Structure 1
Amino acid sequence: MPLLSKAWLDRHVGMNYYISDCEGIGGRVKQSLEDFIVEEVLIDGQVVPTSLTQKPMPKIISKPGPWTWMIIEKRGIDAITLLLILSKRLGIDARDISFGGLKDALAITSQVVSVRGLSINNVPRELSKNIRVLEVFSMDRAFTTRDIWGNEFTVRVRGINEAGRDNITCIINQVMERGLPTYYGYQRFGLKRPNSHIIGKYIILGKFEEAINELLTHAYPTEPPRIREAREFIARTGNYAKALELIPRGYRYYPERAVLRHLSSNPRDFGNAIRKLPHELLTIYIEAYQSYIFNLALSERIGRNLPINMAVQGDMVVLLDERGLPTRHMIHVNEAMTNKVNELVKRSRAIPVAHLVGYSTKLLPGPQGDIELEVLRREGVDPSMFRVKSIPRLLIRGGYRPLFIRPSIFNISISGNDLTLVFRLPRGNYATVFLRELMKSGQPEVDFT
């Protein structure tokens, strides 16, 4: 039987099962920012380094054009905050800023960010005390997800248990044999406030008052006391003008302050209050709910003892390129081709996938399609709702995501009760999902922050 997680947060974000059944190593991560280093890996395999690892800068050839590519190192900054700071500091519309992928907030990270309409001579090296520009290049196009292979992680897990050394080998062997589930990790939903998917669900249901209440008034125990008190005040009084004084200024609480400013003058206008949030943030909320549905369906597949590292009849399988990344070539597996398809999977030339539900999703008959249909029915939603009619620009088309990956592990070392890991994951995957398998924490809201 699959091993069921006992952690409240795991169940809250849809990660109900582990793929390994070995005892966890325990421990905590992110005790300092230096414990969690994330470096972008470009599509050609070059690493975009942080200043900590002292790896060489990637060889990027400048080209004349309207775009500037910046290698940015940030410390403890989330993606939305980075976008807001860049927009304000550089005087650039947020729509003219692009990057290949979101990076962990509670970490030291490096990545390429591109900006349109900015000369390389006008790029400051210090964008804030926690954001540095390490290198700049003139380019003829934007930097996008297609330019990255994934990320390299250097992670320290502190305080592992006495059996940790033996358990590490057991867990890693099972993960490599069975495949690591491609769950969306904690940071997709929030660790201190794991509710982005809840807000997203309310938005696609058109329940804007409930979305606002979740954003403003739901106080989570890991938040600072001052913030919990402010949220409880809003829930108790509905005094939005006074609440605006209680919620701190700054990028971290920008969403709360944006809707509070509108509600201070228009107390019941929840729809337009939601529209005060940036389109990029609203999209993140909807995609977080999409990710939650994916997690639930993947958990259900594991719970039914269906393999994630092999295709079964009715599955969709995507062919992989020479780098091991998904292409656009899809196969709908029937009984006659199952064995041949699974030979491709074993050779890392194909991989089974599940839906990222969106307005264009068409569920197919078969075990995976049946699971996804059951999950949507339990949630009370259908794919058409991912086209939010009351916010016309807010529409999520949908797509596919592999069911499993295998981490590329470069180094494992133990010093005392601390474990250090260096590994790579393809783009779109989360180091915390791999660490979750290793640690099997009963309180990830504490052990991962």
Structure 2
Amino acid sequence: MIRTPYPLEADLGMGWYVTDTPGTGGVLRATPEDFQVEEVPLDAPADEGPYLICRLTKRNWEHQHAMKSIASAMGISHRRIAWAGTKDKNAVTTQYISIYGVDEETVAGVHLKEIELEPVGRSQHQLALGGLTGNRFSITVRGCTGPDLRATVEACTAAAAAGFPNYFGLQRFGVVRPVTHLVGREILRGDYRAAVETYVGLAFPDESPEVQETRRTFLETGEPGPAIAALPNHLGFEKAVLSGLAGAPGDYAAALKNLPPKLLSMFVSAYQSWLFNRVLSMRLADGTDLDDPLPGERLLFANGREDTVTEKNKRIVSVHMKRGRCAVALFMPGSEPRESVGRDDERMIALLDEDGITAEDFARAADFVGLRYKGTLRPIAVRADVTAEVVGQDVGLAFSLPPGHYATTVCREFMKADPHAMI
């Protein structure tokens, strides 16, 4: 294993690589076409129902912005659009969305640059997050500088089949400003003012100097008006929060609720993701292999059944893991208290105690954002059958992943590059 040399990854809990190769280096998204994603739907659409199912292909569109633009073009609320998975901006992505109460003619009238919207059927139910079979990726890493590219790619391709750390990638926390988990922590604490100040006021060096200065000024003064005027239009969500604050001074909770519900809910989810990454890195720091089940660890089976590793069942668990029947998993905490069963649970509880967050806080946050956070298990390893090709200084990777797994988590093991080269 190799410890990451990048402070940003360390801050987000992505502390280790499990491969010992030097890395290919290179740039992951020289153009959007270098990162192509195709969603594999869970169910085929039907012929009837109030929800129109559409295949959406977009190039270089931020997900929430695309949905709001599509809704605006149809003259409807963006809350009538739902999806099974959130896709990256700097990419060419194909996915499915459901739109309530519209017909094919309305969709045909949507004309947005680099967006294609094709009706494919109807459904009695809207799409829900996670309601997909998985995603297929076709990725090109350009300008690789690492030594002996072919040997590196071969080694990492073999290792991918065994499993990489199933980290939540940089996109989960914000690409230019990785703050979503910090906002989520403040929401869980019930400190809505701190949540607003973090979301709007925390500046990062990858932003323009003007935007950084506007954020700092807002932190110092607390005045929303000048920030609304100064922030560029592409920061529409920050402006929406500020507009809410201008309309109801001091009501930071109401200001946050000016955000789309799905975006608001992602803050708390990002905090859970941050905890997962940190505990997984602690496990790796112990020198424990991803495929080595330890007594007291949780197990997640392919059919959704849960169990716990014991000294008595450890051998048979190892057999089941090799056959793909189950995986070691970490419990991501939520509103439903669970008994601590092992070292990883103890670490998770210690991190929550450090932040002063309880199960009751998750329940309160669920009421605030409108999404339940019961807690869930997530496998510690992501496995991928990667097809790789080296052409000159470029590396092509093709693979599929289950829902909620990050292609950049696979790519970072190959590249071992600064995370900014992967956004």
Asked if these proteins are the same fold (TM beyond 0.5), I'd say yes
Q: Aligned partners of 1:112 and 1:125: how far apart in 2? A: 18
Choose the corresponding residue for 2:388, options 390, 412, 417.
412
Deviation at 1:112, TM superposition (A): 0.8
**Would you say 1:5 and 2:1 are equivalent positions?**
no
Q: Which amino acid aligns with 1:398?
A: G
Q: Check the 8 A contact 1:355/1:361 in 2, yes or no.
A: no
Deviation at 1:392, TM superposition (A): 7.1
Could you tell me which residue of structure 2 aligns to residue 191 of structure 1?
Answer: 175
Q: Check the 8 A contact 1:363/1:373 in 2, yes or no.
A: no
Aligned pairs (5 A) from 1:92-103: 92-103=76-87
Aligned pairs (5 A) from 1:262-411: 262-320=244-302, 327-388=303-364, 391=368, 393=370, 395-409=372-386, 411=387
Choose the corresponding residue for 1:232, options 216, 231, 250.
216
Q: Which amino acid aligns with 2:55?
A: I
Deviation at 1:135, TM superposition (A): 4.1
Q: Which amino acid aligns with 1:183?
A: Y
Could you tell me which residue of structure 2 aligns to residue 143 of structure 1?
Answer: 127
Could you tell me which residue of structure 2 aligns to residue 32 of structure 1?
Answer: 31
Q: Which amino acid aligns with 2:327?
A: I
Q: Which amino acid aligns with 2:375?
A: G
Q: Check the 8 A contact 1:72/1:133 in 2, yes or no.
A: yes
Alpha-carbon RMSD across the aligned residues, in angstroms, is 2.1
Q: Aligned partners of 1:184 and 1:247: how far apart in 2? A: 29
Aligned pairs (5 A) from 1:1-150: 2-43=1-42, 60=44, 62-124=46-108, 126-145=110-129, 147-150=131-134
CA change 1:6–1:209 in 2 (3 A) is same
Q: Check the 8 A contact 1:181/1:308 in 2, yes or no.
A: yes
Please state whether the residue corresponding to 1:259 is helix, strand or coil: helix
Could you tell me which residue of structure 2 aligns to residue 448 of structure 1?
Answer: 422
Q: Aligned partners of 2:109 and 2:137: how far apart in 1? A: 24
Q: Deviation string for 1:22-80 (max 9, x for gaps)?
A: 21111111111111111112348xxxxxxxxxxxxxxx564222121100001122222
Q: Check the 8 A contact 2:168/2:273 in 1, yes or no.
A: yes
TM-score (norm 2): 0.93
Long gaps (5+) in structure 1: 45-59, 321-326
CA change 1:210–1:438 in 2 (3 A) is same
Q: Aligned partners of 1:106 and 1:113: how far apart in 2? A: 19
Deviation at 1:122, TM superposition (A): 2.2
Could you tell me which residue of structure 2 aligns to residue 432 of structure 1?
Answer: 408
Q: Check the 8 A contact 1:388/1:394 in 2, yes or no.
A: no
Deviation at 1:416, TM superposition (A): 1.6
* Aligned length in residues: 421
Q: Check the 8 A contact 2:54/2:96 in 1, yes or no.
A: yes
Q: Check the 8 A contact 2:140/2:396 in 1, yes or no.
A: yes
Could you tell me which residue of structure 2 aligns to residue 174 of structure 1?
Answer: 159
Could you tell me which residue of structure 2 aligns to residue 53 of structure 1?
Answer: none
Deviation at 1:102, TM superposition (A): 1.1
Q: Which amino acid aligns with 1:290?
A: Q
Q: Which amino acid aligns with 1:254?
A: G
Q: Check the 8 A contact 1:120/1:138 in 2, yes or no.
A: no
Q: Check the 8 A contact 1:21/1:171 in 2, yes or no.
A: no
TM-score (norm 1): 0.88
Q: Deviation string for 1:323-377 (max 9, x for gaps)?
A: xxxx321122222122112211111111121112111141422222222223323
CA change 1:367–1:194 in 2 (3 A) is same
Q: Aligned partners of 2:204 and 2:369: how far apart in 1? A: 32
Could you tell me which residue of structure 2 aligns to residue 157 of structure 1?
Answer: 141
Could you tell me which residue of structure 2 aligns to residue 324 of structure 1?
Answer: none
Q: Check the 8 A contact 1:297/1:371 in 2, yes or no.
A: yes
Q: Aligned partners of 1:125 and 1:41: how far apart in 2? A: 26
Q: Aligned partners of 1:158 and 1:361: how far apart in 2? A: 46
